[in-house]
Amino acid sequence: MQLNFNSPKPIYLQMVDETKKALVRGELAPGDKIPSLKERAQMSNVNPNTVQRAYQEMEREGLTETLRGQGTFIKNDPALLLHIRSEMAQTAVLHFIEEMRGLGIEAQEIERILRDQLSKEKKEG
Amino acid sequence: MSTEVTENMIELSGVQKRYLLKAALTGIDLQIKKGSIVGLLGPNGSGKSTLLKILAGLIHPTSGAIRIAGRAPDASHKKQIAYLPEIDHLYGWMTVDETLRFIAGFYDDWQADKAAELLMTMDLDGRQKVRNLSKGMRARLKLIAALSRNVPLVLLDEPFSGIDPSSRAKIIRSIVSEFQTGEQTIILSTHSVSESEPMFDEVIFLHHGSVKLFDTADNLRSSYGCSLENIWEKVYA
């Protein structure tokens, strides 16, 4: 778990992203129990108020659900994983395009560079 | 009284402190919300310890008004405040256990079970004499003394100064895990910004006895576009 305190992105949103990434990578599965607020705070040494905000945000986004007396779980919803996966892919692509545009590279060239790189990687196997 | 007033654990307006000719605090206005962990940052001589001592009721401001939990401070406030001084205030001839029993005698809110638990997590041997403890061990013992009390306001003056990294990590872990969310307010002064950064809700940067910056850690990071540690470099450059 790596939080970046130099990023303008608030820590609680970075914690939400971590959970999403773990889900997309398969380290967490729908229906899995996630650490309690207190456990998570201790693991990361992060302020419990910040962790609480992260947990509230995950619940608000429909990523998790809290069962009274049992803890917090990743929502057992197969569509959720697909949704988060495409959402994160979208974010990554937007970021990539933004970087390329920042270098003054236009759409056609971006496409070409991307295609070339992918086919090169494919050959290298 | 409106609810907003009681939401603030601490309210300071125009607080000044002069030691003879030297001005330690030159006019502090602060409102600290209940339930947060606040980092009090600043170079040596910026007024951190003076401010904490004023909040602890150990010294009086030269001028200005203070309200703690909505009331002007008096002797009864000591029951609501745990204060960890920067100086070494423990007796060398006592053992660790004796020290904790001795301190427990002063406070009705002392939690003996918590002290015992912290003794374990902080890796201290209760039978050892205080004079034989390393500096890092004494720092941990001081922290146990402060965190074993059940109080709404905890003031920690430089809990990490001169402490090795592994002791620091233990101390930070204990502060985070013992923090009673929503009920407690912790104010902690330090130079070790990078390690303590994750635990701060709000941060005060002091400079020459006045508040240079005061905001939530998230807001400061997003407006400066960098970590508190790097903000420090910019503020005190």
Domain that holds residue A101: 79-124
What are B141's two structure tokens? 């013992």
B215 and A CB contact within 8 Å: no
Can you tell me the ipTM of this complex? 0.77
A114 and A93 co-located in one domain:
yes
Q: Which residue of B has its CA nearest to A4?
A: B227
Residue B171 has pLDDT above 90, yes or no: no
Chain B positions touching A41 (Cβ under 8 A) are 176-177
Is A113 a member of any domain?
yes
A21 and A43 co-located in one domain:
yes
A41 and A83 co-located in one domain:
no
SS3 B131: helix
* CB-nearest partner of B176 from A5, A6, A42: A42
Average pLDDT, chain A: 90
Q: What angle do CA A49, B109, B141 make, to 5 degrees?
A: 75
Q: How far is A70 from chain B (nearest CA, A)?
A: 20
Is A120 a member of any domain?
yes
Rounded to an integer, the average pLDDT of A18-29 is: 91
Cβ-defined contact of A45 to B225 (cutoff 8 Å): no
Is A97 a member of any domain?
yes
Confidence of residue B145 (pLDDT cuts 50, 70, 90): very high
Calculate the alpha carbon distances from B111 to B56, B84, B114 in Å.
20, 16, 5
SS (H, E, C) chain A: CCCCCCCCCCHHHHHHHHHHHHHHCCCCCCCCEECCHHHHHHHHCCCHHHHHHHHHHHHHCCCEEEECCCEEEECCCHHHHHHHHHHHHHHHHHHHHHHHHHCCCCHHHHHHHHHHHHHHHHHHC
pLDDT one-digit tens code per residue, B121-138: 888 999 999 999 988 889
Q: What is the pLDDT of residue B162?
A: 72
Is A5 a member of any domain?
no
Domain boundary among A59, A76, A93: A76
B228 and A CB contact within 8 Å: yes
Rounded to an integer, the average pLDDT of B70-85 is: 86
Cβ-defined contact of B229 to A46 (cutoff 8 Å): no
Residue A24 has pLDDT above 50, yes or no: yes
Chain A positions touching B193 (Cβ under 8 A) are none
Burial, B165: exposed, middle or buried (Cβ in 10 Å; 0-12, 13-18, 19+)? Answer: exposed
A28 and A71 co-located in one domain:
yes
Is A3 a member of any domain?
no
For domain B36-57+76-235, give the CATH superfamily.
P-loop containing nucleotide triphosphate hydrolases (3.40.50.300)
pTM score:
0.84
Is A90 a member of any domain?
yes
Match 């204060």 to its residue by tokens: B83
Chain B positions touching A44 (Cβ under 8 A) are 198
State percent of chain B over pLDDT 70: 97
Rounded to an integer, the average pLDDT of B32-41 is: 93
Residue from A71, A47, A70, A62 nearest A16 by CA: A62
A21 and A69 co-located in one domain:
yes
Provide the phi-psi class of B42: left if phi over 0, else alpha when psi is between -120 and 50, else beta. Answer: left
Cβ-defined contact of A49 to B176 (cutoff 8 Å): no
A61 and A31 co-located in one domain:
yes
pLDDT one-digit tens code per residue, B7-20: 889 999 999 999 88
A72 and A97 co-located in one domain:
no
Is A62 a member of any domain?
yes
Confidence of residue A1 (pLDDT cuts 50, 70, 90): low
Chain A positions touching B173 (Cβ under 8 A) are 42, 45
Residue A123 has pLDDT above 60, yes or no: yes
Q: Choosing among A42, A47, A53, which should be mutated to test the B contact, i.e. which has the most B CBs within 10 A?
A: A47
What are A51's two structure tokens? 């962790």
pLDDT one-digit tens code per residue, B84-97: 998 888 999 999 99
Chain A positions touching B227 (Cβ under 8 A) are 5-6
Rounded to an integer, the average pLDDT of B126-154 is: 92
Chain B positions touching A50 (Cβ under 8 A) are 198, 201
Structural domains in chain A (count): 2
Q: How far is B176 from chain A (nearest CA, A)?
A: 6
Is A6 a member of any domain?
no
Q: What is the pLDDT of residue B4?
A: 45
Q: What is the pLDDT of residue B95?
A: 95
A20 and A68 co-located in one domain:
yes
Residues of B (21-60) whose Cβ lies below 8 Å from A: 35-37
Q: What is the pLDDT of residue B2?
A: 41
* CB-nearest partner of B221 from A5, A49, A52: A5
Chain A positions touching B226 (Cβ under 8 A) are 6
What are B158's two structure tokens? 């430089």
Q: Where are the domains of chain B?
A: 36-57+76-235
